[in-house]
């Protein structure tokens, strides 16, 4: 695992903006079929995996406790995997043999390829020689690194090695590639060096959870995740438009001016019908996806990635400034989209409460929806007989630069 960054990544800022204007549509949305990263041959045959320490001492007992707690709170909590033992290694014992050393934490191979391998995993609890910032935040570093390295130990490889990662991310390629794409590409994975948070701060992303459950099963006490998704907003320049959760909504943290062009990248590891619309200050709704209503019948449930509007076009903010909302609805069954939009426009009140009223009989209960903890927009949910999870994202659309382009970008 690489060292933590000293500062958080600075997002590129862009100029102000307003209402949504949809670039010319007509070409089918891009549906990449690629999926996420594990090494199939490295999957353990048993969900009970022995772990031992090669060189434990009294001085590192705190580090060992943190490691075990971090693994329990993440990979074990959300799957049927159980790491057992955690004692000093008998000679030639099987399972994961952890050596404690002041060097870069790493594994010697993915998954069961380190079964019984001496120093199959190396963890650092002091960081005197490896990271300048970790000694001041020992617990954070120990736990975050443990989650990443145990991800490898479960056969996950680096997410940023995937072809969908940006060029900058690909430059950080490390270790072997996987041969088993478990989920859509996940910027927020604990296995992704390009995660805006260092290794996701050691908290599994929604897709990390889906992935470990696909490989090793969901824990019996937790309802099975059968609906999940993540949404990214990306500027024409390729820069992410960062978002944070605020109550039941998400907000893009930077205001954008009229004329701003962007795309929405939606991922779903489970088959889902997708509906996207905008809602501006004037209470006017804009259907964004699917592009044509009669398209619905043919647009079967998608899985993996969808680029909205499509690979050749952008959504562009029009001249109506103010807060606007983009709503992405994930559904397990087709919805009467036109009727829903009509009802929404005819109601009063906050968009979320309107949406709840309109979708009520089908809405997945809030207690079974778990927002992505690691930043970004996303969720996992156990539908339990319901079918719909909406995500609402608020955009602060400001005036300012008049748009340079009022026509769709070239390359249509
Ligand atoms: Zn790694």
CA dist., res. 269 & res. 188, Å (int): 14
Distance 280 CA to ligand 1 centre (A): 43
385 and 261 in one domain?
Answer: yes
In a domain, 403, yes or no: no
380, β-bridge pairs: 228, 370
Distance 157 CA to ligand 1 centre (A): 7
**What is the widest separation between alpha-carbon atoms in the chain?**
73
CA dist., res. 123 & res. 370, Å (int): 30
Q: Is 379's pLDDT higher than 70?
A: yes
pLDDT digits (tens, 9 = 90+) for 259-291: 999 999 998 877 788 889 888 776 778 788 887
pLDDT score for 356: 87
CA dist., res. 377 & res. 228, Å (int): 11
- 47: how many CB neighbours lie within 10 A of its CB? 13
CA dist., res. 316 & res. 294, Å (int): 24
pLDDT digits (tens, 9 = 90+) for 153-210: 999 999 888 888 888 888 888 887 787 778 888 888 999 998 888 999 999 988 899 8
Q: Is 408's pLDDT higher than 60?
A: no
285 and 272 in one domain?
Answer: yes
Average pLDDT score, the chain: 82
By C-alpha distance, which of 281, 279, 301 is closest to 290?
301
- Span 329-346, average pLDDT: 88
Distance 191 CA to ligand 1 centre (A): 6
Structure tokens at 286: 């804009």
In a 10 Å sphere around its CB, with 0-12 CB exposed, 13-18 middle and 19+ buried, how is residue 82 labelled? middle
**How sure is the predictor about 32, in pLDDT bands with cuts at 50, 70 and 90?**
very low
CA dist., res. 324 & res. 63, Å (int): 47
Distance 354 CA to ligand 1 centre (A): 44
Distance 163 CA to ligand 1 centre (A): 17
In a domain, 5, yes or no: no
**How sure is the predictor about 330, in pLDDT bands with cuts at 50, 70 and 90?**
very high
Are the beta carbons of 354 and 327 closer than 8 angstroms?
no
pLDDT digits (tens, 9 = 90+) for 45-81: 999 999 999 999 999 999 999 999 999 999 999 999 9
Distance 4 CA to ligand 1 centre (A): 13
Residue 103 sits in which domain range?
37-216
Q: Of the spans 29-33, 113-117, 307-311, 406-410, which averages the highest pLDDT? A: 113-117
Distance 106 CA to ligand 1 centre (A): 6
Distance 175 CA to ligand 1 centre (A): 7
229 and 151 in one domain?
Answer: no
In a domain, 11, yes or no: no
In a domain, 292, yes or no: yes
- Span 361-367, average pLDDT: 86
132 and 158 in one domain?
Answer: yes
């Amino acid at each position: 695992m690489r060292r933590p960054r000293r500062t958080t990544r600075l997002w590129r800022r862009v100029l102000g903006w307003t209402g949504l204007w949809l670039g010319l549509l007509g070409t089918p949305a891009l549906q990449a079929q690629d999926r996420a990263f594990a090494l199939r041959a490295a999957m353990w045959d048993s969900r009970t995996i022995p772990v031992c320490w090669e060189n434990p001492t009294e001085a590192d007992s705190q580090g060992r406790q943190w490691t075990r707690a971090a693994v329990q709170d993440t990979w074990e909590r959300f799957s049927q995997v159980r790491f057992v033992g955690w004692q000093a290694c008998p000679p030639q014992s099987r399972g994961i043999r952890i050596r404690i050393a002041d060097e870069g934490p790493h594994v010697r191979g993915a998954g069961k390829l380190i079964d019984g391998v001496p120093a199959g995993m190396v963890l650092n609890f002091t960081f005197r020689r490896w990271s300048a910032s970790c000694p001041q935040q020992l617990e954070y570093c120990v736990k975050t690194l443990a989650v990443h390295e145990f991800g490898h130990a479960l056969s996950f490889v680096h997410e940023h090695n995937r072809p969908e990662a940006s060029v900058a991310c690909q430059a950080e390629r490390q270790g072997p590639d996987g041969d088993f794409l478990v989920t859509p590409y996940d910027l927020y994975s604990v296995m992704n060096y390009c995660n805006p948070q260092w290794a996701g701060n050691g908290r599994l992303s929604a897709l990390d959870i889906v992935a470990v459950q696909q490989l090793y099963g969901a824990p019996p006490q937790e309802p099975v995740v059968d609906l999940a998704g993540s949404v990214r907003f990306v500027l024409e320049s390729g820069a992410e438009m960062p978002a944070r959760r605020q109550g039941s909504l998400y907000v893009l943290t930077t205001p954008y001016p009229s004329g701003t062009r962007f795309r929405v990248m939606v991922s779903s590891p489970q088959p889902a019908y997708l509906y996207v619309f905008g809602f501006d200050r004037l209470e006017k709704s804009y259907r964004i996806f699917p592009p044509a209503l009669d398209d619905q019948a043919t647009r079967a449930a998608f899985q993996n990635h969808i680029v909205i509007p499509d690979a050749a076009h952008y959504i562009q903010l029009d001249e109506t400034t103010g807060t606007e909302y983009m709503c992405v609805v994930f559904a397990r069954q087709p919805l009467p989209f036109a009727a829903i939009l009509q009802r929404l426009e005819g109601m009063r009140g906050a968009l979320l409460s309107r949406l709840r009223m309109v979708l009520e009989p089908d809405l997945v209960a809030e207690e079974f929806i778990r927002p992505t903890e690691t930043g970004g927009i996303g969720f996992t949910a156990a539908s339990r007989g319901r079918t719909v999870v909406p995500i609402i994202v608020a955009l602060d659309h400001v005036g300012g630069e008049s748009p340079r382009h009022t026509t769709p970008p070239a390359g249509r």
